[in-house]
Structure 1
Amino acid sequence: MSAELIDQPKGQALATLLLAHGAGAPMDSPFMNELAAALSARQVRVVRFEFPYMAARREDGRKRPPNPMPVLEKSMRELRAGLQGRVFLGGKSMGGRVASQLAAELGASGFVCFGYPFHPPGKPERTRIEHLQQISCPGLIVQGTRDPFGKPDEVATYPLDPALQLHWLESGEHDFRPLKSSGLTQQALIEEAAAVAAGFMAAASRR
């Protein structure tokens, strides 16, 4: 497996999205594969990579906890430095948190979070929103309405920057998996997330 995976759209890309994985699954998990494919189908060039702890797990098969935040940030900084043109930072869950913290500093055109970890499940008092209270570049969070890391009624009480865009996926869990009774599918919600993200990047690129 290469250190990076690149999903190149057919024709001209509207932007490049440096896309980080979440805490527990690699860059080529089914979710990440489907999301990257849905984004590239909408003219987004997607560059996926793995943080050091996940790359080490790929080598020896041993599960590890995520690296400390400074290590995660260093990894994304290094990859961002090698990308040219219109670049957005993004990620699933933990990866989105890293992206949102670094986007402005690294001169990105914006950031996109897929399932943001507003707080650990069952611990709503431990919020991770300080840097989202005042953002200095365009930002989008796409969140399932059943996400235990942050549901609509909780997020509505947070003092988030009004410029931060939120899009709710009806019935979606943290991985955008809906209830069967909703009549929706995970694939449909991933496609919706990709469509919203591509639209956001196109609009931010016109600024």
Structure 2
Amino acid sequence: MSLLRNPARRELSATLVLAHGAGAPMDSPFMDDMALRLADRGISVVRFEFPYMAMRREDGKRRPPNPQKQLLECWRQVYAQVRAEVPGKLAIGGKSMGGRMASLLADELGADALVCLGYPFYAAGKPEKPRVAHLAELRTPSLIVQGERDALGDRPTVEGYALSPVIHLHWLAAADHDLKPLKASGLTHEQHLESAAARIEAFLLP
């Protein structure tokens, strides 16, 4: 399994395995930016690609994500590989789909923490079909960084869910699924990404 690493730039206190979302690779601008910000804050970041995205890297052809069973098995393999290599706190998570897959395995793997960026609580346009049943029973300490107007989980809808008490939600004002705020809000994407990184640092390095 090919891994992309951003070692912590100061004394290592935690490692975060970060999976990509459904449509963008592990080295997308969003993933690169977040990995660098976290590395600056003392969190080592390890990234990988699910099989369908690795194939796209080889031949350039866009494909839908692999079946969930295959995505989860890939996560298990990556976690086992990284766990054997790194000491100390090991968290898992990801952007959108990558974070959702991690959330399905966090308890099984015994991960120290879960970090999700833009969690897909439901498919776009289908809030009546939430994907939250397992989140009510989650035992792994979890942080979800979510835009208030995320089309896959906006604040009014998500606040109506019965989520496990171990889940901490960090809301970003006027932000979308990529944590970008409306220009009219007066806030910037840079500010929101920095806020997300700071909150992850406080969560993983208390």
CA distance in 1, matches of 2:200, 2:102: 14
- Tell me how far 1:3 sits from its aligned partner: 2.2
Query: In the alignment, what sits opposite 1:34?
Result: 33
SS state of the match for residue 167, structure 1?
Answer: strand
2:5 alignment counterpart:
6
Q: Structure 2: how far apart are the matches of 1:135 and 1:118?
A: 15
Shift of 1:182: 1.3
| Cα deviation code 1:86-105 (max 9, x no counterpart) | 21001000000011111111
Give the C-alpha shift of residue 5 in structure 1: 1.0
8 Å CA contact 2:10, 2:40 repeated in 1: no
Given candidates 164, 167, 171, the residue that maps to 1:164 is 167
Question: Is 1:193 matched with 2:196?
Answer: yes
Output the CA distance in 1 between the equivalents of 2:40 and 2:91. Answer: 17
SS at match of 1:103: helix
2:175 is paired with a residue of what secondary structure?
A: coil
Task: Name the counterpart of 2:67.
Answer: 68
Q: What 5-or-longer segments of structure 1 have no aligned partner?
A: none
Q: Output the amino acid matched with 1:19.
A: L
How much does 1:22 deviate? Answer: 0.1
TM-score by length of 2: 0.95
Q: What fraction of aligned residue pairs are identical, expressed as a percent?
A: 51
User: Aligned partner of 1:103: which letter?
Assistant: A
Cα distance in structure 2, aligned partners of 1:153 and 1:70: 31
The 3-state SS of whatever aligns with 2:109 is coil
Q: Deviations over 1:95-121 (max 9, x none)?
A: 000111111111110100000000011
The equivalent position to 1:174 in structure 2, one of 164, 173, 177, is 177
Q: Cα RMSD between the aligned structures?
A: 1.1
Alignment-mate amino acid for residue 42 of structure 2 = Q
- Which runs of at least 4 in structure 1 moved beyond 2 Å after TM superposition? none
Is this contact kept in 1: 2:10–2:41, CA < 8 A? no
Counterpart mapping for 1:17-32 below 5 A: 17-32=16-31
Aligned to 1:57: 56
Q: TM-score, normalised by structure 1?
A: 0.95
Asked if residue 115 in structure 1 is aligned to residue 114 in structure 2, the reply is no
User: Given residue 107 of structure 2, which amino acid in structure 1 is its aligned partner?
Assistant: A
Counterpart residue type for residue 16 of structure 1: T
Match in the other structure for 1:151: 154
Output the amino acid matched with 2:97.
Answer: M
